[in-house]
Structure 1
């Protein structure tokens, strides 16, 4: 089968397409003819060497998100058969014409969605649900601030927060404000020209928001804490802006009874990942298409152009998900 490989860490130029053996089917696996694969920031970290070498998760091939057709099932698989259309999160191996997935991480592709849309759902929506609903305990009627609302996870979070009955504030470039409003944001903040903490104070009469979902890290940390209402929850799911010099206003944490939670799916055990996928599937899968939930697709690239796809993400040009298509027959 064809797959994206690389023999050294570095820039997108190290990515090559070539022939590799198909994965071996295990008892709990589905073997999937990959039609599309989502591109995620973890893929960039893998390429640069952030996860070490050569053992990366479940495969030395990169990629965490697939959509395709089941072509074989393991002996302990329940609920799936050859020919089923499935999508889900894999432990590596998505950048290939054939991939394997633990059936407990898979879910059926809702009717009305194509493979490209399906490949853009699971990583971002499972992460968003876990952060906002399971850990952030967002409730109807509460107010949430979602940073990077035009990104993959951010856009999914805006949709889920809106569907949950929350008032949604989000940060995004001015050029993306129309998109985040379409996703369900009640107010968009231009992070290039506005201080989000000042806007939150104005919009909430200085009460603050109930939940904040943040990908940035240290540059936003103090202002995030100061923007929380009594009993507020800050869920940290990224550190794109770094970790150095993060100031913690401990008096605010103490007297406002705040909660600060960090989460990264990649470092969770398989059992926890199974539970995360199950929670999302049970709560939201039926809401796609008919109730308006939908992935935001930025662009689509052939598998052979994985380097160009990652470069687009690396340069911060994407609004929504970047997807690779294999062209597999």
Structure 2
């Protein structure tokens, strides 16, 4: 089968389309003929060597989310049939014509979603649900601040928060704020021209927000903590801005009864990942079928042009998900 590989870590230029063996079916696996593949920031990190030559459980090949048709099933599989359209998160191996996925990580594609849309759902919406609902415990009537709101997880989080009935503060670059408001944000914040903590304070009368979802890290950390209302929850999902130099306002943490949590899906055990997938599917899958939730697609590239897809993500211009189509 054809797959994207690379001999050495480096820029997007190292990616190449080559012939590799098909994955071997295990007892709990579905074998899926991929039709579309989601691109994630972790793919860029893997290409650059951040994880070494890691095997995340399914393959050493790049790629974490797939959509396609079931072409074979392991002996322990139940709830699926040959020909089913499925989507899900894999432990590597998505950038290929065929991938294997533990059936407990796969879900049926809701009616009305095409393959490209389906490939844009699993990683970002499962992560957003885990951060907002399972950890952040966001409820209707609360306020939430979502950073990097034009990105894959950010745009998913805005939609989920809006569907919950929260007031949504969303930060992004100014040229993307109209799109972010269309996802369901109530207050858009231009992170280049505005101080998000000042905007939150002004809009809430100094009370703050109940939940902050952050992907940036150290440059935002202290202001995130100070932007929280008493009893507020900060969920750290990424560190795109680095980890060095973060300052902790311990007095605010203590007297505000705040909670700070981190979540990274890639490094969790299979059982935890399966539970995350179940929680998401039980709460939200029907809303994709009804159209209440919509995956946000930035651009679609053929699998052979994975390098261009990576360059698009690195440009910082994308809004929503970048997807690879598989012939």
Q: TM-score, normalised by structure 1?
A: 0.98
The CA deviation string for residues 223-256 of structure 1, in whole angstroms up to 9 with x for no partner, is 0000000000000010000000100000000000
Q: Is the 8 A contact 2:58 2:100 kept in 1?
A: no
Matched position secondary structure for 1:13: helix
1:291 is displaced (CA, Å) by: 4.3
- 1:143 equivalent to 2:136? Answer no
Shift of residue 178, structure 1, vs aligned partner: 1.3
Q: Does structure 1 residue 88 correspond to structure 2 residue 88?
A: yes
1:275 aligns with 2:275: yes
Q: Which segments of structure 1 move beyond 3 Å, counting only runs of 4 or more?
A: 54-57
Aligned to 1:61: 61
- Distance across 2 between alignment mates of 1:286 and 1:60: 33
1:158 matches 2:158: yes
Q: Distance in 2 between matches of 1:233 and 1:152?
A: 22
SS at match of 2:290: coil
Q: How many residues align?
A: 327
Q: 1:223 to 1:318 in 2, by over 3 A?
A: same
Distance (whole Å) between structure 2 residues aligned to residue 23 and residue 209 of structure 1: 46
Q: What RMSD in Å do the two structures reach over aligned CA positions?
A: 0.8
- Report the Cα offset of residue 289 of structure 1: 3.9
Quick one: distance in 1 between partners of 2:273 and 2:289? Answer: 25
> Residue 288 of structure 1: SS of its match in structure 2?
helix
Q: Tell me, which stretches of 5 or more residues in structure 1 are unaligned?
A: none
Q: Tell me the equivalent position of 2:19.
A: 19
CA deviations over 1:129-178 (Å, ceiling 9, x no partner): 00000000001100000001111000000000000010000001111111
Deviations 1:33-73 (A, max 9, x none): 00000000000011011111253442111000000000000
Give runs of aligned pairs for residues 154-303 of structure 1, distance below 5 A.
154-303=154-303
Contact kept, 8 Å, 2:58 with 2:101, in 1: the verdict is no
Which piece of structure 1 moves more, 282-291 or 29-38? 282-291
| Structure 2 unmatched ranges of 5 or more | none
Q: 1:284 & 1:86 partners in 2: Cα distance? A: 16
Structure 2 length-normalised TM:
0.99
Aligned to 2:78, what secondary structure does the other structure show? coil
- The yes-or-no answer on 1:134 pairing with 2:107 is no
Q: CA separation in 1, counterparts of 2:323 and 2:248?
A: 38
CA distance in 2, matches of 1:34, 1:153: 22
Contact 2:132 2:138 in 1 (8 A): yes
> Cα deviation per residue 1:69-108 (whole Å; 9 max; x = unaligned)?
0000000001001000000000000000000000000000
